[in-house]
Amino acid sequence: MKSRIYSPQRAATFSGLIGVARADITPPIGIYARNWGAAKHDSAEGIHRPLTLTCATFQSSRRLKPLVLIAADLGWWKGSEVEWFIRGKILETLSLECSHLMFCLSHTHAGPTLCREDVSKTGGEFIEQYLRHLQSRAVQTAQRALAKAVPATLVWGHGKCDLASNRDLPEKGRKRFVVGFNPTQQADDTLLVGRVNARNGRVLATIVNYACHPTTLGWDNRLISPDYVGAMREVVELQTQAPCLFLQGASGELAPAEQYVGDITVAETHGRRLGHAVLATLEGMLPAGTELSFAGVVESGAALGVWKRSTYPVATGLSCEVAEVELPLKPLPSLAEIEERWRGCKDRVFKERLWRQRAVRQAVGDGKSARTHVWIWRVGDALLVGQPHEAYSQFQQKLRQQIDPNPVAVMNVVNGWMGYLPPRQLYRRNIYPVWQTPFAPGALELLTEMACARARRMIKS
């Protein structure tokens, strides 16, 4: 314990070639954008804030293939075909292996649909054109980021933000749980911030990893919006004069206490709260390659322990892998059964639920298990771990415990989407993530065990 007390206090770093680029991916007004079963409208009637796609690339040298990180203001993929239509084109154009790309969605619930099968719905005529536009923008932005890559450093710092709250709420007088603020349960408030600096000190980008559902704007909202992420970015970018990438954390049970509103000013307030927490974290970070070392005791009015800045070598290594795991499925109705129920359903809300259940069934297939993947990158001293599902926060908490003191950015809704991953003990409850998920009890624990084992191996290599 004593040796750790006096160990130098340093941040995780990476030094190499880093490129950053951004594109506007705002869809046209009128596109099909029904993300809430309770919504009375189907198509977007305006724009709150633009949707953006931001890309960061990492290389140890120009002769090596880059790691390509994309953060987009989008909700969730409603089918593997459309997701691969976007991601596969990026991989093909840049000649990348699958392990070298993470396409991360912010999970906004105020964005356009990402499903070709919604073409017959109001505003569905815009979907195909928008998906092709999104594919083109994603490829071009990744190419521009690579072209702009310069020698730079990335340094990480931890902060906290109390925007996220637990949203598994026991319903008064009933045995079910609803999705809403539960003030009796604590929420993971960890904020991880990365700062990218060019050699001249200029900030090139800020990376923000935080776990909180962007569900501020609910069924009464009729505007395309990045939700709280947009205002957060504005706060950070006004101060840093550089793009900010948002990476949605393991937020399965986390959301703002005040949510489901039609008032965009609430989303703005939430975003500013997170943005100022990001700025506070940035202010507390030392320059890359700088640490605090114990320098001894100075006798004064009291015995003073003095810590001074010193330098250390910045990490330059990059590695990546994509790990595969089979997750067990719970008993599910067949695709034909779901479609028959959908055709016979007259209730607008329940018909939407069945349509989404159909998409999940298509994604997982007809077997007793479904194959899924986890992307693990080592970027200098830090890890980035991404997976397609909506994992509960225990996924990121256990990864942090396993990798400590190295930081790990953990992301939901990366390179696909199938549904929730709640903890095993929740399967005894009547709760939305349990009846939404296609996965059987223990799936989250299996994924966590595999991801932790691979992460430990990578950080030791």
Q: Is the pLDDT of residue 1 over 50?
A: no
Alpha-carbon distance 181 to 169, whole Å?
6
> How much is the average pLDDT of 166-175?
94
With vertex at residue 245, the alpha carbon angle to CA 126 and CA 376, rounded to the nearest 5 degrees, is 100
Q: Are 111 and 78 in contact (CB under 8 A)?
A: no
Dihedral sign of CA atoms 397, 177, 326, 86 in order: negative
Give the C-alpha distances (Å, rounded to integers) separating 263 from 15, 37, 221, 257, 267: 43, 18, 7, 15, 8
- The DSSP H or E segment spanning 461 is none
Into how many domains does the chain fold? Answer: 1
Instruction: Quote the distance between the C-alpha of residue 450 and its chain's center.
Output: 19
Give the domain range for residue 106: 2-286+392-415
> How much is the average pLDDT of 425-441?
94
Alpha-carbon distance 355 to 343, whole Å?
10
Q: pTM of the predicted model, to two decimals?
A: 0.95
Give the C-alpha distances (Å, rounded to integers) separating 1 from 4, 142, 215, 402, 423: 5, 45, 43, 18, 33
Longest C-alpha distance within the chain, in Å?
83
Residue 3 has a pLDDT of 62
* Domain annotation covers residue 447: no
* Domain annotation covers residue 237: yes
> How much is the average pLDDT of 16-39?
97
* Domain annotation covers residue 455: no
* Domain annotation covers residue 316: no
Look up tokens 């994924």; give the residue. Answer: 447
With vertex at residue 250, the alpha carbon angle to CA 117 and CA 408, rounded to the nearest 5 degrees, is 125
Any idea which of 63-77, 122-136, 344-358, 387-401 has the lowest mean pLDDT? 344-358
* Domain annotation covers residue 179: yes
Q: Is the pLDDT of residue 363 over 50?
A: yes
* Domain annotation covers residue 382: no
Q: Are 323 and 317 in contact (CB under 8 A)?
A: no
149-165 pLDDT, tens digit each: 999 999 999 999 999 99
Residue 4 has a pLDDT of 78
Residue 35, both tokens: 């993300």
Helix pair 228-240, 264-283: axis angle to 10 deg: 40
> How much is the average pLDDT of 187-210?
97
Q: Is the pLDDT of residue 2 over 60?
A: no
Look up tokens 């070298």; give the residue. Answer: 100
* Domain annotation covers residue 48: yes
Residue 376, both tokens: 């693990």
- The DSSP H or E segment spanning 139 is helix 127-147
* Domain annotation covers residue 112: yes
